[in-house]
Structure formats: C-alpha cells, structure tokens
Amino acid sequence: MIHSVRFTCVLDTNVIYPIDIRDLLFWFASYDLFTPKWSRQIFREWENVMKRKGIPDEEIKKRVSKAQLAFPDALVDNYESLVNSLELPDEKDRHVLAAAIKTNANIIVTNNIKDFPASYLASFWINSKDSRRFYNGHH
C-alpha cells in the first residue's frame, strides 16, 4: 500500500454502504493511509440504499454526518460539467469518474470493476480497485 495522504481515492457508493467495508476504509483513511473523496451524488445514493434497507432516517443522518465530520475535505465539488463527456458501460457511473477526474484521484474504489474499464480510466491516469484488493494492499 502506498502510505501517503496525497494518495487520493474516490469511494463509490457500493464500498461505503456495507458497514464492514466502510469501517475498514474509514479506519485506513483516519490513519492517513489515503485521502478519501466522494460527491454529494455518491452520498445521495448511499442514503437511498440505506432507506431501501429500512435504516431509520435518524440513523442515516447520523452515519452521513459522522463521515462528513471525520473527513471534512472529502467532498468533491464542480465535477458535473464533466459527466456528459464521459463514456462508461453504465451511464449512472459517470458521476463517480467525473469526481475522480476533478479531484485528481489515483483510484476509484468500487465493487463494480467491470463498469470502470481499465483502459478508459488509464486515459485519465486513474485505476479502479475493488475493496478487497484495495485493502489487501494490491494497488
């Protein structure tokens, strides 16, 4: 693993929702092993998943604000203008790549690797890793 706060990773919704993966990633980030980044849209998706899973609104607010307080610099802004120019297998993932480009991220941590083709991401100097490979240090 690259031990550098400048090592920047955009966390996709599907690695923020499962509590065990989120806790591990946030733990690594809290020890400055990488800098986490996300967008409002990623957090909206996370809130929607929690709602669908029947998590009470109060708990949803608590989880989201805890993440925001823990990593106040994680929010990526002003990436929206990039979204429509990007080409991914699933259009709904373009905002994740746009946020990664905007913040000069090194990696997108996602459990939908197939939705982020390596050759296309490479043109932006970005890699994708699933959470297991990421926290086992294979990047």
Angle in degrees, CA 69, 75, 77, rounded to 5: 150
What would the two tokens of residue 117 be? 């083709």
Q: What is the pLDDT of residue 4?
A: 56
Q: Which of the 8 DSSP states describes residue 98?
A: H
Q: Is residue 112 part of a domain?
A: yes
Question: 95 falls in which pLDDT band (50, 70, 90)?
Answer: very high
Statement: residue 113 has pLDDT above 50: yes
Q: Is residue 1 part of a domain?
A: no
User: Which CATH number fits the domain that encloses residue 67?
Assistant: 3.40.50
In this structure, what are the phi and psi dihedrals at residue 21, rounded to the nearest 5 degrees? Answer: -70, -45
Task: List the domain range (segments joined by +) for residue 40.
Answer: 8-135
Instruction: Tell me which amino acid residue 61 is.
Output: K
Taking all residues of the chain, what is their mean pLDDT, rounded to a whole number?
A: 92
d(CA 70, CA 119): 33
Domain count of the fold of the chain:
1
Q: What is the pLDDT of residue 59?
A: 97
Summarised one tens digit per residue, pLDDT across range 48-86 is 999 999 999 999 999 999 999 999 999 999 999 999 999
d(CA 126, CA 122): 5
Q: Is residue 86 part of a domain?
A: yes
Q: Is residue 3 part of a domain?
A: no
Q: Is residue 130 part of a domain?
A: yes
Question: 138 falls in which pLDDT band (50, 70, 90)?
Answer: very low
Q: Which of the 8 DSSP states describes residue 12?
A: P
H or E element: which one contains 92? none
Q: Is residue 110 part of a domain?
A: yes
Q: What is the pLDDT of residue 32?
A: 86
Tell me the pTM: 0.91
Q: Is residue 2 part of a domain?
A: no
Summarised one tens digit per residue, pLDDT across range 4-58 is 557 899 999 999 999 999 999 999 999 888 999 999 999 999 999 999 999 999 9
Collapsing DSSP to helix, strand or coil, 109 comes out as strand
